[in-house]
Structure 1
Amino acid sequence: MKAGKAESMAIWLGLLGLAPFALLALSVWSPPWRSLALPALLAYSALILSFLGGVRWGRALEAGSPAQFVLAVLPSLYALGVLQAPPVAGLILLAAGFVGQWWLDVPADRMRAPAWFRRLRGWLTAGVLACHLLALGPLLPV
């Protein structure tokens, strides 16, 4: 697959991956759906955070860096722990996990990823954070 096609595919799949975040975050606003949507949002969020660790694992295979392998398993362990927290805390902690993972991957380009991937990670992280904030709205006391 040529670089342009790979980039295009990654962008489309990444953006499609935001759809469950948005749908579930909006569903949290509907009281009849909240009891289903909130646990699903937390689970999907933990799953995707773990996936980002897998991305780092793949990059670590290329670099052969033991430190990168250690960093690659942290998102899964963190997400599993967060799933034990109450829902509001879980949303906040998972959002923080996405920010932390972005910070580890993108600003210093520790994974030596292509520029388009760094931009995509920024867009997707912003989208995930927006969905977490949206889902918090009906859960916080007024």
Structure 2
Amino acid sequence: MTDTDTAIPRPALLLGWAGVIPFAVFAFATALELRLPGLRPEPILLAYAAAILSFMGGAQWGLAIRETPVDGQRLAASVIPALVAWAALLQPRDAGLLLCLVAFLGLLAYDLLTVRQGRSPGWYGALRLQLTGAVAGCLALALLFD
């Protein structure tokens, strides 16, 4: 592997971390018991987590459809995060946040596997470790202080 295989592209790094901002804002708002008029941060955090979990599954879909032949198992794995996210929205808030947390960690394991197999860019694993670590920390914080 060369440095170009493992160096995270700057746009992916910056945009990825920008996506962590709502996790941090609403997790800390939960921990500090901050409330906006008529809004609680926990359901906003859960909805955002579900949306991003679905998005992350879509990243694997995009990688899967580039393969020839298309791997049906990989496509199925790419749809699971969206289904789990939807199920999380149907749960009581804490159960939904916990389900998202577990799903993010499970998807990270799958993403790292695809990097080791050479089926995802080498830099993707490093980016996912950083971002999922931050997201998992935010969700755990919200669960601890809810």
The interval holding the TM-score normalised by the smaller chain is 0.7 to 0.9
User: Residue 23 of structure 2 corresponds to which residue in structure 1?
Assistant: 21
Distance in 2, matches of 1:111 and 1:91, equals 31
Matches within 5 A, 1:47-86: 47-63=51-67, 64-86=70-92
- Post-superposition Cα deviations, 1:34-85, rounded to whole Å, max 9, x if no partner, equal 8521001000000000001110110011112111111111111111011111
Q: Does the Cα contact within 8 Å between 1:59 and 1:111 map onto a contact in 2?
A: no
Contact 1:82 1:94 (C-alpha < 8 Å) held by counterparts: yes
Q: TM-score, normalised by structure 1?
A: 0.87
* Structure with the higher helix share, 1 or 2: 1
Identify which of 128, 131, 134 aligns with 1:124. Answer: 131
Of structures 1 and 2, the one scoring higher in RCO (CA 8 A, sep 6+) is 2
Residues 26, 135 of structure 1: 8 Å contact kept: yes
> Structure 1: any 5+ residue segments left out of the alignment?
none
Contact kept? 2:26, 2:41, Cα under 8 Å: yes
Larger deviation, residues 107-116 vs 50-59: 107-116
Do the aligned residues in 1 keep the contact of 2:84 with 2:99 (CA within 8 Å)?
no
Which runs of 5 or more residues in structure 2 are unaligned?
A: none
Change (3 A) 1:111 1:25: farther
Greater than 2 Å deviation, 4+ residue runs: 29-32, 107-111
Cα distance change, pair 111–73 in 1 and its aligned pair in 2 (3 A):
farther
Q: Is the 8 A contact 1:56 1:111 kept in 2?
A: no
Alignment size in residue pairs: 138
Q: Percent identity?
A: 35
Q: TM-score, normalization: structure 2?
A: 0.85
Q: Deviations over 1:82-115 (max 9, x none)?
A: 1111111111111000001111111353572222
Change (3 A) 1:137 1:85: same
State which drifts further: 24-33 or 115-124: 24-33
Q: Could you give the per-residue CA deviations for residues 109-140 of structure 1, whole angstroms, max 9, x where no partner exists?
A: 3572222111000100100010011111222x
